[in-house]
Structure 1
Amino acid sequence: MAGERSDPHSIEEQDLEDFDSWTAKAALASLIDETLGSPEVTRLLARESLRTEIVREELVANETLLAKIRTLQDQVMAEGDRGFRPRNRAVSLREVAWLLVAVLLGLGYLSLMTAAWSRLPLFFRIFAGLMLPCVLFATGALAVRKVTSLREWMNPDAMQFHEEQFGLGPRRSFAAREIVLPEVRDVISAHRRLHFGTTLVFEQQYDLGEEDSSRIVPTAAAKRIRRVLERAGSGAVALGGQRGSGKTTAIRSLQRGLLHGSENPAPLVVVASAPATYDARDFVLHLHKLLCQAVLERIWQTLGPETGWRWWVRRFWLGSADLVGSAALGWAIGGVLWNGKFTQFPTDVWQTIARVRFPDLLGPLWTQQSVPNRIALGVTAFLALRWAVKLLASATDAVLHFVRRKSSAGARALEAKARRQLLRIQYLLTYTTGWSGKLAVPAGGELGRTRTTQRAEQQLTHPEVVDEFRAFAQLTAESLRAEGITDRVVVAIDELDKIGEQDKAQQLVNDIKGIFGVPGCLYFVAVSDDAVLSFEQRGLAVRDAFDSAFSEVVRLEPFTLDESRLWIAQRLPGVPEQFCYLGHCLSGGLPRDLRRTTIDMVDVTIEHYEPSLSTVTGILVRADLTAKASGFAGQARGLAQTPELTELWPKLLRIPDTRQAVELAELAAELHEGATPDLADPINRLRLHSCAFVLFCATVLDVFTDALTQSRLTPSLHDLALARRHLALDPHLAWAALNDFRKAHDPAAA
């Protein structure tokens, strides 16, 4: 049984013949049970009304998941103690204070009970003895709850007695979080509860207006980027894909650590946008500046700000001033309330405290004093206790600071170097030195000489800038890894695909590819489809800058039908599937257009209460027709007036006023009259674009009506999204695909 695999003692005879397979299956079963019991997965299962046994059965039978566990076991065995070890989290002063509070509470109770034991009646002795374990348990629970390091030490990654037999070692948490948990989410998504209907309703909306959302759809490209981050120590990777396919979102997800596929801390990510007009030297300097700033920010987040001697001197003087002010305040309040002279208040208080004999505290300090004296003693005790706590905190802070400084010397050295590098990049330093002299001579004459030498640091050449960047990037990667802060540096260059001319983009890559290949540094560059095509032609007689610069290409494809449905369902829980299909078809699966279409659908609900599918489709299609009709008219105005254009103009002007699907289909046929496959002719190209788009809108109106039932939501509707993509590439191909779709679905009968 699958459940028996989680117990390492349940070894059957056939398991002994392949012990490695048994350990992998046992480790997988244990990780599945652990993941399914986590609060996050429990909430997901409850939301989808999904039984745990169903998910567990699918995961245990997943051979790919089992292969990943076996591969990880082999890596753990091969690495041994050579693997990267993240830096231990520094103990905070707040945690130390809570630990001291817990210890003092326990010791205080023991001291009071010991001192008063001989004077207590029998009943109170029994009560105090029974309360002792309760007090010790309460103080221990307080320390464990407030001190994270103590809790981690007591429960180190949920280690159990059979953990060594699983062969995962310190990477168990990584296996649970990065291998098993994504598969669990995929299974839950595949079995998620679907909603059907032709009325636009949803429970709530999430992250529609935010591109930096943590809800990442696990596409094939995202999974490949995770694998690249896990395996590649250096190199350059091109992110390809058409506009709107999510290259910028992928880079931002890298920066936020959402695509990080390792148990190690998230990489240090530097993101720069490629300039439209550039100077290679200035761009490398810009990357160098961003890297310095990222290093300073990561070290500050990990170790906190550097505290020099000036900080300690300022803290001493501020503390001294606070002490004097507190003493003066206590003297002033106590002197006014104390039954004596103002100047005798400190002496009388000291004599009162000297008469105290533990454990008899109430008599001298409370019952034998008048009410004003009690208030004066209370104020004095409060100020004294406050300063005792502050002095203890200062001493503890000084010790912790000394320990942290010793353990982070390498990181602080890198921080200082980053500051120097940043200063050198931002400013041109000028140094002036000189000497002068004057000699008096008879008859009132003077002889003088002045010599001044001015030294200005010369600007570095492009090769020197590249060498400086490479040296600092390598030092950063080595230092951060040695300090356990992160195991690699990632430099992402975005918007290279927005450079209009391919030659300029290739020239930029040629000029900056000298910074590639730094050990411990991985580069991601967003490139155009043409660059991807040239890379895929490697090995032929064609070789260009992209082929020689990049080690591999990750192409971001538009969403599939299921990925678009999941994207919308994550942001609009409870939305009917009909509207998910509508969003996918109108956007063609492009993530950027899918977001815009979904936002437009939600905006319809502002003016229409629970609008129907026909209403939403009509509003979105009419808005699209109006916008595209303006674009077609603009293109036509830029063409030379010919009889063909004169004949086409009235048809283009009818586009925004045509509303019904049948009329749009007829208009599309009129626009297509006389069209040829020749896209070189601008009028023919305009004719093909306009007729294909109008026919697409007519088909969408025909399909997405209130009669669209669950049985008619088939994968073949994805062909409509493909036709939308073809509109931007080849309108003639889009026209043919739309006609094939209409014949197959017979929209006239819908």
Structure 2
Amino acid sequence: MAGGVACGAELLLLGVRENLVAAESAAIAILVVSLALWLHQRRTVQLRTHRSQLPLAYCAGIVVGVYCAMAPILATVVSEDLLKMALLPALGVAGGCFLAWLYARPYVARTRALADDDPSGWPALPPSRARHREAALQARRDWLSIVARDGVMPLIWSRLRMSEDTTTTPAFPAIDLSRLTGTRHSDSFVETAASQQVAFDLGELDSASIGVSGPRGAGKSHLMERFCTHGPTSTSEDLLILVAAPTSYDPREFLIHLFAEVCRSITGDSAAEGRRPGPDPVRRRRRGMRIGAGLTIIAGFAVVGGTLLWPQLNAATAAVSAHLRALLIAGGVTLTCTGLIWTFVLSAHAERRAPDSVADAEAVAAHYLRTLRYQLSLMRGRNALLSLPAGFQFSEGTQVQHTEQVLTYPELVARFRELLDMIALERRHAGGRVVIGIDELDKLGDAQAAERFLNDLKVVFGIRGCHFLVAVSEDALTAFGRHVVDIRTAFDSAFDQLVAVRPLSLEQARKLLELRGVWLPDAYLWACQILSGGLPRDLLRTVMNLATDRALHNTTDMPTLVLRLIKDDARTVLSAQSRHVSALTSPQAPAAARWIASASEAPTRAEAWEEVLSNAPVEAVGEYEAAKALSQVRSYLGLGATLLRTFADDASSGLPTRLDALRSAGPEPVDRLTAARAKLAAEPEAVWAAINYYRREVLGLEPLPEPQ
């Protein structure tokens, strides 16, 4: 529209060139129309990067209209030579600078908006790209979390660390339960001996297969996410992949899945889907509008220039017509030379890129990803046709089709190792590393399935520059430790290192809660740490149960809260053990079930549980399952009676004394009981030593009789 207005203005001026007054009036009229269009568009057009701004096509039309209007106006007050030699070129340069400023203004505003610290000032994106804004917001939140965790929070802890609660009966504080739920990767990781060992191995070893062992809830998955996903311990050059082991295991299918995940991590999401990203309709529409506006402006200038230079164009056309053959020959020679030069440049460029393209891991990964997702077919055909004058025709055709066979398992292994070797070489040159984590192997059906999985998986271990982290069960740690007595297992032969994730110590448990913004008095922290067995997941759950009980019953009394906590825990444990023993068919199972039922009915008091322990049945020789269940229940009741003696009995007189004794003894007694709780399931007999040590050294009580 603006280009048409400018062209109409210039044509009108040319038609009334002999009458300057009429030309001036027409130019002013065109200027008024352009300004009216500008005011109309100013009210209707709102761009995201500016409060208001006209499209460049309208601005160009206004500038051209002003330029055309100024020529007849200035012709009445200045000489023709001054107008042509100075004023009109100056006006043209000023108009071009003005258009350049208008064109650059949105980009300057967008750059300033992108540099804004407030996300509300960031430029809006079309719906098709809304996920990019969400990604930027999430990156900003992660950055703020890391700054708060590693920069601000240590300063606050050093000044606002909760002082020791010296009151006789410490009160349980109000806690925001949302801080205890969910996975908070960036601000809840506590450094342990296991994480330090893994970080050392990944940094010092060229290649390593590391098993991560520990009980469920000990933090194996959190440790895997720490080193197998991008975060504070990684760089942009690292290739980090974390996959979950399947519960129903098929070696070929899992290798294809792992192979595809590695390819996707290199090629990106678009290549992972096996197709090129489709065109953005919004961007295509905007590009069309910009091209249309530019063509309109070019057409306007062409019409204006053609009209002004019409005599010269006619003379040039006549000259060209007189030497048309020579010009065509010269044009053909020019095009031929240009094509040859272009071909030479492309060939040289391709030769320079050929060595790099062979070693381009991204291209190789994209090819492998297509072969993993699709079965490729190649068809070649050849046809010949002979026509005779009388209308006879003879034809012959052949077709050859090649279909790629499905890769066998050894071929998959060979190609996967080749790709990993190529990736590791590229990453090493850039200072990066390749870390592949396989989580939840400990959740396979049985130990034999886990060993078969490792036997099939270890064929891809040992590639220089590649590190594998595999989460395994505690049985793997036991089997790995038994290789010193010549008992070889799949766990021993598959791993270079086996790192044990131990239960949290008292200080580590305190730090975990503080990282989530939860501060507990020492007495509550001791009780929760012992009942959780030092497992991070159970620690958070225990604290949440205490906070929930405080809110529901509106009480902050420690003996009451701890008594309810132990009572709920005992109900869950004894009920599960009773069902397990009742399902056994051994001769001792009925007596064991009756004794566990009597323990469930006993009051939740230390004296009552100690009396139940004195009436425990004798373990029968040869009945492993029933004997193990009895041993676990006895150890649990002994630990529970000791905790009741410490935190829930004689609240009016003995509690402050016991808490002072426990505080003066340091963290060792609490860590001993925490380790004892963690051993209840696998080593119940080892619990009694810690229980009796605590009762004798801290509480000053008689030790409980150990089972015979």
TM-score scaled to structure 1, two decimals? 0.57
1:200 aligns with 2:200: no
CA deviation map 1:30-81 (0-9, x unaligned): xxxxxxxxxxxxxxxxxxxxxxxxxxxxxxxxxxxxxxxxxxxxxxxxxxxx
Confirm or deny: 8 A CA contact 1:194 1:577 kept in the other structure: no
Displacement of 1:324: 4.3
Match of 1:470 in 2: 417
Match of 1:156 in 2: none
Match of 1:229 in 2: 202
Displacement of 1:638: 0.9
Q: What letter corresponds to residue 507 of structure 2 in structure 1?
A: D
Q: What letter corresponds to residue 678 of structure 2 in structure 1?
A: R
Which of 679, 682, 685 aligns to 1:726? It is 679
CA deviation map 1:699-747 (0-9, x unaligned): 2222123524455333213222222122112223324543443344448
Match of 1:603 in 2: 548
Displacement of 1:277: 3.2
1:674 aligns with 2:674: no
Which of 534, 541, 565 aligns to 2:510? It is 565
Larger radius of gyration, structure 1 or 2? Answer: 2
Match of 2:36 in 1: none
Change (3 A) 1:266 1:527: farther
Match of 1:700 in 2: 643
Confirm or deny: 8 A CA contact 2:212 2:470 kept in the other structure: yes
Q: Give the alignment of 1:2-13 within 5 angstroms.
A: none
Displacement of 1:147: 11
Change (3 A) 1:453 1:411: closer
Q: Take 2:200 and 2:384, find their aligned partners in 1: how far apart are those partners?
A: 71
Q: Take 1:238 and 1:410, find their aligned partners in 2: how far apart are those partners?
A: 36
Match of 1:271 in 2: 242
Q: Take 2:158 and 2:441, find their aligned partners in 1: how far apart are those partners?
A: 35
Residue aligned with 1:243, SS? coil
Q: Take 2:399 and 2:545, find their aligned partners in 1: how far apart are those partners?
A: 70
Match of 1:577 in 2: 522
Match of 2:127 in 1: none
- Name structure 2 gaps, 5 residues minimum: 1-48, 50-107, 118-145, 305-352, 388-392, 703-708
Residue aligned with 1:729, SS? coil
Displacement of 1:451: 6.0
CA deviation map 1:278-333 (0-9, x unaligned): 22222221111111112234999xxxxx999x96999676324246479999xxxx
Q: Take 1:191 and 1:622, find their aligned partners in 2: how far apart are those partners?
A: 34
Change (3 A) 1:702 1:325: farther
Confirm or deny: 8 A CA contact 1:702 1:748 kept in the other structure: no
Displacement of 1:454: 4.0
Match of 2:339 in 1: none
Confirm or deny: 8 A CA contact 2:185 2:222 kept in the other structure: no
Displacement of 1:586: 0.2
Q: Take 2:699 and 2:518, find their aligned partners in 1: how far apart are those partners?
A: 32
Confirm or deny: 8 A CA contact 2:238 2:427 kept in the other structure: no
Q: Take 2:591 and 2:213, find their aligned partners in 1: how far apart are those partners?
A: 41
Match of 1:378 in 2: none
Q: Take 2:551 and 2:160, find their aligned partners in 1: how far apart are those partners?
A: 31
Match of 2:16 in 1: none
1:514 aligns with 2:482: no
TM-score scaled to structure 2, two decimals? 0.60
Residue aligned with 1:564, SS? helix
Q: Take 2:281 and 2:162, find their aligned partners in 1: how far apart are those partners?
A: 63
Q: Take 1:542 and 1:641, find their aligned partners in 2: how far apart are those partners?
A: 32
Change (3 A) 1:203 1:663: closer
Q: What letter corresponds to residue 462 of structure 1 in structure 2?
A: Y
Q: Take 2:231 and 2:681, find their aligned partners in 1: how far apart are those partners?
A: 31
Which of 621, 625, 631 aligns to 1:688? It is 631
Match of 1:531 in 2: 476
Q: Take 1:259 and 1:545, find their aligned partners in 2: how far apart are those partners?
A: 33
Which of 237, 242, 247 aligns to 2:215? It is 242
Match of 1:4 in 2: none
Displacement of 1:607: 0.8
Confirm or deny: 8 A CA contact 1:488 1:520 kept in the other structure: yes
Confirm or deny: 8 A CA contact 2:210 2:499 kept in the other structure: yes
Q: Take 1:253 and 1:299, find their aligned partners in 2: how far apart are those partners?
A: 26
Displacement of 1:502: 2.8
Aligned pair count?
494
1:545 aligns with 2:498: no
Change (3 A) 1:186 1:249: farther
Change (3 A) 1:608 1:451: farther
Match of 1:665 in 2: 609
Displacement of 1:466: 1.0
Confirm or deny: 8 A CA contact 2:385 2:395 kept in the other structure: yes
Match of 2:189 in 1: 216
**Structure 1 stretch displaced more, 717-726 or 243-252:** 717-726
CA deviation map 1:222-264 (0-9, x unaligned): 112222222223221111223322211101122334562x7x4
Q: Take 1:505 and 1:190, find their aligned partners in 2: how far apart are those partners?
A: 49
Match of 2:60 in 1: none
Q: Take 2:182 and 2:228, find their aligned partners in 1: how far apart are those partners?
A: 15
Q: Take 1:213 and 1:416, find their aligned partners in 2: how far apart are those partners?
A: 33
Change (3 A) 1:665 1:477: same
Change (3 A) 1:603 1:203: closer
Q: What letter corresponds to residue 662 of structure 2 in structure 1?
A: R
Confirm or deny: 8 A CA contact 1:622 1:656 kept in the other structure: no
Q: Take 1:481 and 1:666, find their aligned partners in 2: how far apart are those partners?
A: 62
- Root-mean-square deviation (CA), in Å? 4.8
Displacement of 1:519: 2.1
Confirm or deny: 8 A CA contact 1:668 1:695 kept in the other structure: no
Change (3 A) 1:638 1:322: same
Q: What letter corresponds to residue 595 of structure 2 in structure 1?
A: K
Percentage of identical aligned residues: 25
Displacement of 1:698: 2.2
- Name structure 1 gaps, 5 residues minimum: 1-93, 95-138, 149-176, 301-305, 330-342, 348-405, 441-445
Change (3 A) 1:672 1:412: same
Residue aligned with 2:436, SS? strand
Q: Take 1:187 and 1:515, find their aligned partners in 2: how far apart are those partners?
A: 47
Confirm or deny: 8 A CA contact 1:534 1:546 kept in the other structure: yes
Match of 2:287 in 1: 319
Match of 1:590 in 2: 535
Which of 494, 497, 501 aligns to 2:442? It is 497
Q: What letter corresponds to residue 287 of structure 2 in structure 1?
A: G
Match of 1:651 in 2: 595
**Structure 1 stretch displaced more, 658-667 or 243-252:** 658-667
Q: Take 2:203 and 2:265, find their aligned partners in 1: how far apart are those partners?
A: 21
Q: What letter corresponds to residue 461 of structure 1 in structure 2?
A: T
Match of 1:738 in 2: 691
Displacement of 1:527: 2.0
Change (3 A) 1:193 1:322: same
Q: Take 2:496 and 2:586, find their aligned partners in 1: how far apart are those partners?
A: 50
Confirm or deny: 8 A CA contact 1:699 1:747 kept in the other structure: no
Change (3 A) 1:194 1:468: farther
Residue aligned with 1:574, SS? coil
